[in-house]
Structure 1
Amino acid sequence: MRFKGLDLNLLVALDALMSERNLTAAARRINLSQSAMSAAVARLRSYFRDELFTMAGREFIPTPRAEGLAPAVREALLQIQHSIVSWEAFKPAHSDRRFKIVLSDYVTLVFFEKIVERAAREAPGVSFDCRPPADDNEDLLRRGEVDVLILPEMLMSSTNPRTRLFGDKYVCVGCRTNEQLSEPLTFERYMSMGHVAVKFGNSRRPGLEDWYLLEHGLKRRTDVVVQGFSMIPPMLLGTERIGTMPLRLAQLFAKTIPLQIVELPLPLPPITEAVQWPALHDSDPASLWLREMIVEEASPMASSLPTTEPLVGQTSTSIDLLTSDLRTSSGPGL
């Protein structure tokens, strides 16, 4: 089909090439032969009067013209898919939909198991592709490559719809044998102890506590760096090190390993987890079903923040702020 001289099938090829950056992979994605994809590239170059891609080994590097075309092409194809091709009633019990979810190890362990369990009852054919947070989450939403993100609200874009789910707060954790946690943890002792810290994503973004300290010209002693909050507790056992992590996850680990939880001597803001989805999916029946289930399952967790009291025991503390100017700080975001 042609529109003002352009074969619209070429837009599908261009979108695949922008996503895959490889001729063979792009051809496989849209079920074309490699020679047919090569011909499509030639026709695209002729129509747009631009090379569109240059080669770097086997990778296709888009030109500025291709980069400029990509968002509009992707949005047009998604609009066709969700408004025309895929629009039909969603029947969970009979669906084999595979949802792509971006979420942290923290959310996976303290919350998402509820979604998996409920879906197994209501929609046994539905499956989930759970992916770690990336450095380009907003691009994933724009391209419609994920169904939902479940992340701290502070990390979400303002260009796509979202709904708050539940809150949490940061605490300090250590091995139950760690004698330095046997009395209220001061800021000075927190800074002097060895830490197990998290760095996120390919860009190795530091955790909120590191952002807070760096903003105030401070740096803690980091002995071990891990990829997610769930890796902190095992690295603390049998050591005098401490870690900073969300309370709900710390309480989950404390049920099975000798973990000690104390108040964090930093005025970090609470965590607010939220669910976000591509604007183009806003009225998609399958997306609506998933989002409604997520909000319903999060409702019991949304009523109040958890408390450290049941697990702290003799190490219950109060927050010891740094100085009077830090008491009024709202804390940085990730």
Structure 2
Amino acid sequence: MGMHLEKLDLNLLVAIDALHRTQSVTETAKELNLTQSAVSSALKRARAHFDDEILYYDGQKMCPSPFGLTIAGIVPDMVTSLRALSRMRAVAELSSIKRQFTVLASDYVSAVYLSVLSKELSAIAPGISLAVVPFSEEASDWFARGKIDFLIGPAFALQDSFQRTPLFEDGFKCVLCKDSLAARNGLNLERFLEAPHIVTNFFVGNGKSHVENWFAEQGFDISIAATLPSFVVLPHYIAGTPNIATIHNRLLQQIGPRDDLVVVDPPFVVPPLTEFLIWQDHQQYDTEAVQMRDAMLAVGQRLRNTKPSYHS
């Protein structure tokens, strides 16, 4: 058989994988940062190797041949494994790693956890950098295909096929304008439900956060004053309004007190949020990623041992 893998250029598999998903040479070229002629050339070479059309145009989109449909079920996992293989190195100390790790996370996690991790890495592993990717359907797909190293998210972001472990927990407070009726007279359940709310929506899945999902489970029918794709800016929509935002304790600690706002306990017990560190099974062969994961878990453990406090 020899050592030439039947003369198959493995980069052709990356192009076939993208073409199957996008059904377009133009979109594949954009995704792979190639010219359209380079993508067309890759498809031509793949056709020659497999002696099959693989994909063909039917109107405005590409459709797989029967053989193309067969390999479409094989190629994505192969590409994910090849990406993992290309990142593998002999065992090395964390301090000697020179690599950028990508992390899919919310701005809340970026503020309360990744900022702490980045500070620690600057001291113990200065060759490591972080690239934080915000949540989106496209980014979730990148993670599933192995293009993003880690995902940090709550339980409802998990899939059975992913590896995961708890990273840290957090609770919640309600933030009100100090001059609001609820702040002056006390926040009870009735006033909470009557007030307009500032909530988040990241437009992934149902878009709701841990708190909004719990509200829905309780049957709380709240009015929405604004829906934002960010946790960090929630307090900026409270001053001078009757609005309420239910915000993570650790995030409030990061933001600090403001003269025009008050922070109070919710008029009910919100289940604590657990953020998980999530990764793909193929990462077990990536020694650098395993060491990075251990460092991330150590920072999470220290965060769990530190109870957040906030004084308005």
Q: Shorter-chain-normalised TM-score: which range?
A: 0.7 to 0.9
Of 198, 201, 212, the match for 2:200: 198
In the TM superposition, 1:15-164 aligns within 5 A as 15-18=17-20, 22-23=24-25, 26=28, 34-44=36-46, 47=50, 49=52, 52=55, 54=57, 63=64, 69-70=71-72, 72-83=74-85, 86-135=88-137, 139-164=141-166
Q: Which residue of 1 aligns with 2:267?
A: 265
State the SS of the aligned residue for 2:232.
helix
Q: Is the 8 A contact 1:151 1:274 kept in 2?
A: yes
Deviation, structure 1 residue 153 = 2.9
Closer, same or farther: CA 209–116 of 1 in aligned 2, 3 Å: closer
Report the AA paired with residue 187 of structure 1: L
Closer, same or farther: CA 265–79 of 1 in aligned 2, 3 Å: same
Q: Over residues 126-149 of structure 1, what are the superposed CA-to-partner deviations in whole Å (9 max), with x where a residue is unaligned?
A: 222101123366643431111111
Q: Is the 8 A contact 1:96 1:126 kept in 2?
A: yes
Q: Which residue of 1 aligns with 2:296?
A: 294
Closer, same or farther: CA 226–78 of 1 in aligned 2, 3 Å: closer
Paired residues, number: 307
Q: Over residues 147-204 of structure 1, what are the superposed CA-to-partner deviations in whole Å (9 max), with x where a residue is unaligned?
A: 1111113321221211111111222111233342234421111011111111113566
State the SS of the aligned residue for 1:185.
coil
Q: Is the 8 A contact 2:104 2:150 kept in 1?
A: yes
Closer, same or farther: CA 56–239 of 1 in aligned 2, 3 Å: farther
Q: Over residues 314-333 of structure 1, what are the superposed CA-to-partner deviations in whole Å (9 max), with x where a residue is unaligned?
A: xxxxxxxxxxxxxxxxxxxx
Q: What TM-score do you get using the length of structure 1 for normalisation?
A: 0.77
Closer, same or farther: CA 28–192 of 1 in aligned 2, 3 Å: closer
Of 221, 231, 234, the match for 1:232: 234
Q: Is the 8 A contact 1:162 1:276 kept in 2?
A: yes
Give RMSD over aligned pairs: 3.4
Q: Is the 8 A contact 1:173 1:250 kept in 2?
A: no
Identity across matched positions, percent: 26
Q: Is the 8 A contact 1:175 1:259 kept in 2?
A: yes
Closer, same or farther: CA 207–25 of 1 in aligned 2, 3 Å: closer
Report the AA paired with residue 17 of structure 1: L
Q: Which residue of 2 aligns with 1:317?
A: none
Q: What TM-score do you get using the length of structure 2 for normalisation?
A: 0.82
Closer, same or farther: CA 33–84 of 1 in aligned 2, 3 Å: closer
Q: Is the 8 A contact 2:53 2:65 kept in 1?
A: no
Report the AA paired with residue 194 of structure 1: P
Q: Which residue of 2 aligns with 1:311?
A: 311
Q: Which moved more, 1:126-135 or 1:202-211?
A: 202-211
Q: Over residues 287-332 of structure 1, what are the superposed CA-to-partner deviations in whole Å (9 max), with x where a residue is unaligned?
A: 122111111112122137546xx526xxxxxxxxxxxxxxxxxxxx
